[in-house]
Chains A and B, each alone.
Chain A
Amino acid sequence: MQVRDYLLRRLALLPLIMLGVSIVVFTLTRFTGSPVGIYASPNMTPDQVAALEARYLLDEPIPVQYIAWLGGLFRGDFGWSGVSVAPVTDVIWVKIAATLELALAAGAIAIFVGIAIGTIAGVRQNKWPDHSARLFSILGASTPTFWFGLLLLVPFYLWLNWFPLGRATPDIYDSVTHLTGMYTLDALLNANPVAFVDALRHIVLPATVLAFGAMATIVRMMRSSMVETMSEEYVDAARAKGLPESVVVKRHARRNALVPTSTVIGLSFGFLLQGAVAVELIFRWPGLGQWVSSAILAGDQATIMAYVLVTAFIFMTVNLAVDVAYAYLDRRVVLGG
């Protein structure tokens, strides 16, 4: 199948999957109780609470409520976010931009560093770089994000003040027009180097912490597939042709080893979104993760549902992109097969 056809088929499936996700998330959140509490206060009389329930159709059966909610989604109405005291659609774009910026930065670090370390480890199998890489990936996989974040904050923020908390220094933030909500990008679009450096200083630490876990997976995968490809006959053939070792590793072995790794990269983006919850809390990064954690504590269902839908969408889109990249990396792959 052509890449184009495959892409079209996957894109056609996307709304169906989203519909499925929406049914599951709606039903499950409703099982935790009525969302009327987000509007009600303990001082209200039962009549006032009943009036609120009627106003938001919460006295109707769940399927009716679902249809009403779904209808709202189509009109661009995701409901009222109790924790933000604003319609979900008013705040969600800012949160998405914040989390995406963080996840993309973390993803970039994880991919580049992970592939580099994995490659070296695979080439130098059972030598000290390999052992250190394995130790590194065990640490990455087993260190709780929450703890690792605090661990880095003490020297790099408290003692050295290289990387501050938050997303930007308020005065510098105000000097920039925010077109995308991604501060590093906004600073570049404004051609404002001061703001760019400021945004970088704020993003380095949280992105590194977030990247650590994903990086570990990438290192392990890259290392083992490098070990495998380095023993393939075509690598020997390339060497026999007299190609320099660096060319053998980079052109022949690494490119093929990247194929299985790219799948892991797609999946680890899910871990990045998940890990963002803890990282955003610690580094006071006002993204989706921080938003949903306060929503969960508050039982704010509209926010929780919007969060699940958005992350599901991002996750599926990234994986689609990875699958397409897969076909590019390995021409033998027949998509949709």
Chain B
Amino acid sequence: MITTPSGTPSAPRARRRIIPAVAGAAALTLLVSACGGATQTGTNSGDELRNAGVIVHHQNGEPRSLDPARTEQGEKGEAFIDNVYERLVDVGPDGPDLIPSLATEVPTVENGLVTEDRLTYTFPLREGVVFHDGTEFTADDVVYSWERVMTMNLPEGQASVLVDSVESLRAVDEFTFEVTIQEPDASFLYSVVLNTVASVVSPDAVESNGGVEADAPNEWMDANMVGTGPYRFGEWNRGQSLTMVINEDYWGEPAKAEVRWDITPEESSRVIALQAGDADIIDISPSNVDDLDGVDGVSISAEGLLLEPIHLGFNMRADELPSGDTIPSDFFADKRIRQAFSHAFDYETYIASFLDGYGARYSAYIPQGVFGYDETAPVYEYDLERAAELMEETTYWDEGFTVSVLVQAGEPEFEGVALLMKDGIEKVNPNFRVNVVNQAETQFDDNLGEDPVPYALWVKNADPGADPHQFFDPYQHPDGDWGAKHGMRDAYEDPDLIAELIDAGKSTVDPDERAEIYAELQRILHDDPMWVYAAQEGLAYPYRSWLDGFTVNPLWRGPHYEYYSKPTG
């Protein structure tokens, strides 16, 4: 939003960005009195092109590592890696379909590159590809890269994605790579081959800088990259910026503009930098996007939704609870209570206020935009009367209860879920109390890492995924990661049926059959919910209108700058 000299918002939607408006008015007064009349007031200096030929993306944080073997899911490093390293397959700017990348074909049973038993995948590889250090890319390099990740097996990274899936790897010939997996997995290409850990790195670069050591990170690789992607790694000026340089020898169409990441932790400063024209793209929380609507020279890309649904977790075996919590450890094993909580959450308000409208509902448990999402699947409505009815059937209606919900500090989107949950439940009955507990990231992670989790409720988002199995297995399977931790097996009405369906979803290849399985799961898991399915955050990026071709596929881990161009002067 532009503020005019008097501080009056020029757009009728002006609501939240009061600071610049007030600041504008006050600062203007200062200016006028100090300089005896300012001249350029009210005009953003950002109308002239800045940083010609360089796309500047102001980031809210810094990568922790640039090594595909070490980056955590959803971490900044992943977005950077996507532009410098490549995988065998990729997704383009539009749609969820896989396209060839270092492989020249996407393997399917139909094209004969996946065996009938769906265990062996063959990837014909692109010839003439050169790493950024000048060495030639061959099938051995894929074997090396994947084995490297599995040998290092860093728990903070995503090595388990490969370790849990791969049976054997083989270079059939110089340009044919073959992988055999442990069991048929319809999600293999999306969840494993497309994953950051499956990036192909230059063996020469690794071997001359520390090599591969079992169970240990390689510090050189944390801060250096030698891949095959459209960008070469430039430099990393810690705490300030990272750069990507155009790879002129790229096998595909070369990138059109250089890239710089500026680290700007404060959101207000990122917004001002975008308005000034120093930033071309900024990270922003959805609740602030609207403020930039209508600003001259700024466009907003708000297509698609993040594939990391925000949820509130129920712990059905909360053996240790914070002092003050009065519920028994299996409180949430009662389906009616979980349903009541699901009815006591104000979804519309959450999306409208905490996500500023940039968000959507998702069904149990699959985000919109992922194969198998069923538009007709039921979702919970905010209905306090229904919540009261459900709770009245339990013994807690009269005696009341107190329960704490754990949330990570400094994450307004997650805090919002906890606060609205508190608001709803406490409205249902004055004897019900929900305490919101804020914790720093490490303590939060530490608590979630414990088994059992020492809280009965907590808020976070799911790890992103491109295939339904990546959501159903860890978050809903009675014996999955969270299922085992939360005691879902004892809480589900029919755990065996759910386990059977989720396993069948993984091994079924026929898309129609698979979609049917997931549709059924979405109905069962709605009735027997293990999470409050709060909302999916919108994928919103404000960017300078002088960028051409700006688009972000929700399946990407961040912008793919090779598709964008910026005037050079």
- Nearest A residue to B241 by beta-carbon distance? A170
For residue A170, give the distance in angstroms from its CB to the closest CB of chain B. 6
Q: Is the CB of B278 within 8 A of A33?
A: no
Contacting pair A284 B442 (CB below 8 A): no
CB of A40 within 8 Å of the partner chain: yes
The answer for the CA separation of A91 and B445 in the assembled complex, in Å, is 25
Are A48 and B23 closer than 8 Å at their CB atoms?
A: no
**B424-447 CB contacts (< 8 Å) to partner A:** 439-446
Let me know if B240 and A167 touch, CB within 8 A. yes
Residues of A within 8 A of B481 (CB): 43
Binds B, one of A225-233, A260-268, A288-296: A288-296
Chain B residues, CB < 8 A from A291: 239
A113 at the interface (CB under 8 A from B): no
Q: With the chains together, A92 CA to B359 CA distance in Å?
A: 40
Instruction: Give every chain A residue within 8 A of B470 (Cβ-Cβ).
Output: none
B contact residues, range:
35 or more
**Bound CA span A159–B7, Å:** 13
**Is there an interface contact between A153 and B156, defined as CB atoms closer than 8 Å?**
no
24 contacts between A and B (CB under 8 A): A36-B442, A37-B446, A46-B450, A82-B442, A85-B63, A91-B239, A94-B238, A150-B268, A154-B20, A154-B24, A157-B45, A165-B272, A165-B278, A170-B243, A281-B269, A282-B266, A286-B238, A286-B240, A286-B263, A290-B239, A293-B265, A297-B410, A299-B444, A300-B442
Please tell me if A95 contacts chain B, counting CB pairs below 8 Å.
yes
Residues in A with CB closer than 8 Å to B238 are 84, 86, 91, 94, 286
Question: Is A153's CB under 8 angstroms from B269's CB?
Answer: yes
**Chain A nearest CB, measured from B327 CB (Å):** 23
Given A166-B262, A290-B239: A46 and B449 interface contact (C-beta under 8 Å) = yes
> For chain A residues 114-161, which have a beta carbon within 8 Å of chain B?
147, 150-161
Chain B residues near A151: list those with CB within 8 A. 19, 22-23, 26-27
Q: B199-212 toward A: CB 8 Å interface, digit per residue (1/0)?
A: 00000000000000
CA of A252 to CA of B28, assembled, Å: 40
B439-468: contact bitstring with A at CB < 8 Å (1 yes, 0 no)?
111111110111100000000000000000
Q: How far is the CB of A169 from chain B (nearest CB, A)?
A: 10
* A148 to chain B: closest residue by CB: B23
Contacting residues, chain B, for A296 (C-beta < 8 A): 440
Do residues B38 and A155 form an inter-chain contact, with CB atoms below 8 A? yes
- Asked if A159 meets B43 with Cβ closer than 8 Å, knowing A34-B446, A38-B442, A282-B266, the reply is yes
User: At the interface, yes or no: A283 with Cβ under 8 Å from chain B?
Assistant: yes
Contact of B45 among A158, A167, A284 (CB under 8 A): A158
Contact A298 B45, CB 8 Å, known A40-B155, A41-B156, A281-B265? no
B156 in complex: contacting residue of A40, A156, A166, A283, CB < 8 Å: A40
* B53 close to chain A: CB less than 8 A: no
B273 touches A165 (CB 8 A): yes
Closest to A35 in B: B442
- A165 and B263 alpha carbons, distance in the complex (Å): 11
B497 within 8 A of A: no
**Chain A hits for B156, CB < 8 A:** 39-41, 44
Chain B interface residues (CB < 8 Å from chain A):
3, 19-20, 22-24, 26-28, 30-31, 38, 40-46, 61-65, 72, 155-156, 160, 222, 237-241, 243, 260, 262-266, 268-269, 272-273, 275-276, 278, 409-410, 439-446, 448-451, 481
In whole angstroms, what is the CA distance A301 to B24 when docked?
A: 39
A281, chain B: closest CB distance, angstroms: 4
The answer, yes or no, to whether A259 is at the interface (CB within 8 Å) is no
Asked whether A42 is an interface residue with its Cβ less than 8 Å from the other chain, the reply is: yes
Q: Does A270 contact B (CB under 8 A)?
A: no
Q: Does A48 contact B276, Cβ atoms closer than 8 Å?
A: no
Q: Are B272 and A155 in contact (CB under 8 A)?
A: no
Residue on B nearest A278 in the bound complex, by CB: B266
Cross-chain contact of B445 among A42, A284, A286 (Cβ < 8 A): A42
On whether the beta carbons of B278 and A164 are closer than 8 Å, the reply is yes
**A41 B42 Cβ-Cβ under 8 A:** no
Contact of B443 among A33, A41, A150, A153 (CB under 8 A): A33
Judge whether A2 is part of the interface by a CB distance below 8 angstroms.
Answer: no
A286-B263, A294-B265 given as contacts; is B276 within 8 A of A158 (CB)? Answer: yes
Cβ contact within 8 Å between B44 and A44:
no
CB-CB under 8 A for A48 and B155, given A40-B445, A166-B262: yes
B440 x A298 contact (CB < 8 A)? yes
User: Known: A33-B442, A33-B443, A94-B239. Contact between A155 and B27, CB under 8 A?
Assistant: yes
State A301–B64 Cα separation when bound (angstroms): 16
- In the complex the two chains form, is A37's CB within 8 Å of B27's CB? no
Q: Are B446 and A284 within 8 A (Cβ)?
A: no
How far is A34 from B278 in the complex, measured between Cα atoms in Å?
40
Q: Beyond A38-B442, A286-B239, is A44–B155 a contact (Cβ under 8 Å)?
A: yes
A32 interface residue (CB < 8 Å to B): yes
Task: Tell whether A21 is near chain B: CB-to-CB under 8 Å.
Answer: no
B440 touches A158 (CB 8 A): no
A158 touches B46 (CB 8 A): yes
Residue of B with least CB distance to A86: B238
Distance in angstroms from A163 CB to nearest chain B CB is 11
Q: Flag if A161 contacts B45 (CB, 8 Å).
A: yes
A sample of 16 more A-B contacts (CB under 8 A), given A42-B448, A94-B239, A154-B3, is A40-B445, A40-B446, A48-B155, A49-B450, A82-B64, A84-B239, A151-B19, A153-B269, A154-B20, A156-B27, A157-B276, A284-B266, A286-B238, A290-B239, A298-B441, A299-B443
Residue of A nearest to B453 (CB): A42
Whether A155 touches B45, Cβ cut-off 8 Å, given contacts A41-B445, A284-B262, is: no
Q: Which of A32, A45, A290, A297 has most B Cβ within 10 Å?
A: A297
Q: How far is the CA of A159 from the CA of B27 in the complex (A)?
A: 11
Q: Which residues of A contact B40 (CB under 8 A)?
A: 159-160
Q: Interface readout for A202-245 with B: 1 if CB under 8 Å, 0 if not?
A: 00000000000000000000000000000000000000000000
- Which A residues between 6 and 38 are near B, CB-CB below 8 angstroms? 32-38
**Interchain CB contact (< 8 A) of A154 among B23, B65, B410, B444:** B23
Q: A95 to B19, alpha carbons, bound, how many Å?
A: 29
Interface residues of A in 69-98 (CB under 8 A from B): 82-86, 91, 94-95
Q: Which residue of B is nearest A155, CB measured? A: B27
Least distance between A98 CB and chain B CB atoms (Å): 8
Q: Separation in Å of the B51 CB from the closest CB of chain A?
A: 9
**Set B23, B273, B449: member contacting A41, Cβ < 8 A:** B449
Tell me the smallest distance from the CB of A199 to a CB of chain B, in Å: 14
Contact of B263 among A45, A153, A284 (CB under 8 A): A284
Chain A residues near B160 (CB, 8 Å)? 43
The smallest C-beta distance from A81 to any residue of chain B, in angstroms, reads: 10
Residues of chain B with a CB closer than 8 A to A160's CB: 40, 45
**Would A159 and B442 be within 8 Å (CB), given that A42-B449, A85-B64, A167-B240 are in contact?**
no
Assembled-state Cα–Cα distance A91/B223 (Å):
14
For window 163-189 of A, CB contacts with B under 8 Å fall at 164-167, 170, 173
